[in-house]
Structure 1
């Protein structure tokens, strides 16, 4: 990769030469040659005693899980989609239903080798000479460098996950339960290892509580005709293998596969099982974006084109009901995913410090949040193509939250700096990319360059 970097002319921007992505930001096309990442895939080693794994930056979580489960281990956080890469998550984020006890993917990293914008490969770890980059790499989206090797923490897992689906009829009750269960890590005298939820309407919501177990018994299969998120409405208990639990959302890309007809029984029977996965649906979305297929169809029916509303926002748990109430009244999108999370405090910070653990992703440490995900389209306003996204950004800010940067953002440069690192980011950029060979974070996240 270093050889590839040096082959790019000094007056050209440096980008990765990768064919796939889990980002939903459009970006300008370029003929600049990209960094060759062919040698950065795969799992390098698994240490069952230390409970760590060394991986290349382009290793997917699908490959990492396949290597660790035979040891009875899994990464602390396994993002929901199989083709998310470990290096990509380290710089762009990732979350799952263990986040209320383990934090986000950043909290699973032990050490990283990073190719910086200056063309150096440095080893970033807490307490080392590049500790500033270790902590500042989170949410930098490749604007400071690219991870070439990572060591990540693992945890013991059991062969099965027993599920309980709890129904709620009002958002206030749902919020209270999230706060209580997240703090106690148990419910009704039973341990809770995993916690997430789905909001269908203002009067129909569910929390799913998962408990790891080695007790034998029948398990459900949601990789064929059955659909996982629909099962939440239909049953109060369930069991999955740990493998199928970790990937339960990938088969139907949560519920987004319905946009391609993949949830219609006749089509689903003909849809090969190996193609029921997020990476396939993402390619279909990419084709639509390239050729404007959906907008052309809408125009044929005399309807306006769509505004894409694909976002994950993090709201303090005590304001969750406020956001959901507003969203359900104002934005015609359902279902909505909920994932509670709590970021551990940095070991070198005093107890009670509110300084963010990850300065570019400003969670207050040891404070409970709820990640709220919604992924669909709404009619576009002719005079403001991003109107709905702008309203969401404003409400999120008013409620003390923030949003992930994998999709469209509309902040001014000043607003963005205030929310995502500001002076800390500028200092990191000056140290690790002084010639600005890599794009600035604002240019990537907002200006879509």
Structure 2
């Protein structure tokens, strides 16, 4: 039902006679999902001292929780574009920032995704939290940080599979279309896809290895006719990677622009070797 609603809104550009200028969604649990339909307006809303005209989610309120609590909302264009950044979608919880007592002490100017990224970079480098977990007898954890695209008609299939095999929630949904053919990222032009975003860690099960969950995600996305972006960890073997990301076309371009092969190839840049 959710995927069909997304497809209809994308096709029609509106919902119940109202123009839709922005569309995304969040699935919190099986059976609990929300779509956000945004409409731009040049008319600034009026408000009062006790009820401001526009919401501000850079303070104590969490934007992603507002989706569960409010049917309508008003944001300035600036705040709409940056609505997810204060809490890095919902990943600020890893730093305790969704605890009101910690949030009050954390300077507002540091509630930003680039600050969180630096903290994560330091943890990846020094592994302090990982060492504490080992000392406490907790299992090691695998990073599962991905944005994937599947055809809108296979969105429910992927989310159900993800629930059964990964179990990480919430997940983000964002529809998209390719306006033209891109050999290095082949999505069918004019077809609606849904980006499913999930960012976090899962415990490594006994007998499993780091990367197994990511490899399973990659295989399922491919099975469903989807694709995934390469900003995060990738585990494809060389043959599969070359086929999925149009490396033959890239090689032809590289022969012209880098005939001495001084630059690293995409596979070497993007794929983890473990």
Considering the TM-score relative to the shorter chain, is it more than 0.5? yes
DSSP 3-state at the match of 1:197: strand
Q: Distance in 2 between matches of 1:228 and 1:431?
A: 47
Segments of 4+ moved more than 4 angstroms: none
* C-alpha distance after superposition, 1:52-97 (max 9, x if no partner): xxxxxxxxxxxxxxxxxxxxxxxxxxxxxxxxxxxxxxxxxxxxxx
Report what 2:107 is aligned to. Answer: 272
- Match status 1:263 vs 2:87: no
* Residues 333-412 of structure 1 mapped to structure 2, 5 A cutoff: 333-345=168-180, 357-381=181-205, 383-412=208-237
Deviation at 1:437, TM superposition (A): 1.5
Deviation at 1:407, TM superposition (A): 0.9
DSSP 3-state at the match of 2:155: helix
Deviation at 1:312, TM superposition (A): 0.3
Deviation at 1:236, TM superposition (A): 0.3
TM-score of the superposition, structure 1-length normalised? 0.58
Deviation at 1:297, TM superposition (A): 1.7
Report what 1:349 is aligned to. Answer: none
Contact 2:233 2:272 in 1 (8 A): no
Q: Which has the higher helix share?
A: 2
- Match status 1:432 vs 2:257: yes
Q: Distance in 1 between matches of 2:128 and 2:251?
A: 40
CA distance change for structure 1 residues 371 and 211 in 2, over 3 Å: closer, same or farther?
A: same
Deviation at 1:448, TM superposition (A): 6.1
Tell me how many residue pairs correspond in the alignment: 266
DSSP 3-state at the match of 1:195: strand
Q: 1:294 aligns with which of 111, 114, 129?
A: 129
Report what 2:167 is aligned to. Answer: 332
Q: Distance in 2 between matches of 1:200 and 1:305?
A: 25
How well do the aligned residues superpose, as a CA RMSD in angstroms? 1.3
Contact 2:24 2:37 in 1 (8 A): yes
Q: Distance in 2 between matches of 1:212 and 1:238?
A: 12
- Match status 1:182 vs 2:6: no
Q: Distance in 1 between matches of 2:272 and 2:106?
A: 37
DSSP 3-state at the match of 1:249: coil
Deviation at 1:302, TM superposition (A): 1.0
Structure 1: gaps (5+ residues): 1-172, 346-356
CA distance change for structure 1 residues 441 and 335 in 2, over 3 Å: closer, same or farther?
A: same
DSSP 3-state at the match of 2:75: strand
Q: Distance in 2 between matches of 1:262 and 1:251?
A: 10
Q: Distance in 1 between matches of 2:209 and 2:55?
A: 45
Q: Distance in 1 between matches of 2:208 and 2:21?
A: 47
* Residues 223-262 of structure 1 mapped to structure 2, 5 A cutoff: 223-262=58-97
* C-alpha distance after superposition, 1:126-152 (max 9, x if no partner): xxxxxxxxxxxxxxxxxxxxxxxxxxx
Deviation at 1:436, TM superposition (A): 1.8
DSSP 3-state at the match of 1:212: coil
Contact 2:151 2:194 in 1 (8 A): yes
Q: Distance in 2 between matches of 1:430 and 1:216?
A: 54
Deviation at 1:174, TM superposition (A): 0.6
* C-alpha distance after superposition, 1:346-385 (max 9, x if no partner): xxxxxxxxxxx22111111111000100000001245421
TM-score of the superposition, structure 2-length normalised? 0.94
Deviation at 1:330, TM superposition (A): 1.6
Deviation at 1:344, TM superposition (A): 1.1
- Match status 1:307 vs 2:132: no
DSSP 3-state at the match of 1:254: coil
Q: Distance in 2 between matches of 1:447 and 1:232?
A: 36
Q: Distance in 1 between matches of 2:246 and 2:68?
A: 41
- Match status 1:204 vs 2:29: no
Q: Distance in 2 between matches of 1:302 and 1:192?
A: 50
Contact 2:148 2:196 in 1 (8 A): yes
Q: Which has the higher strand share?
A: 1
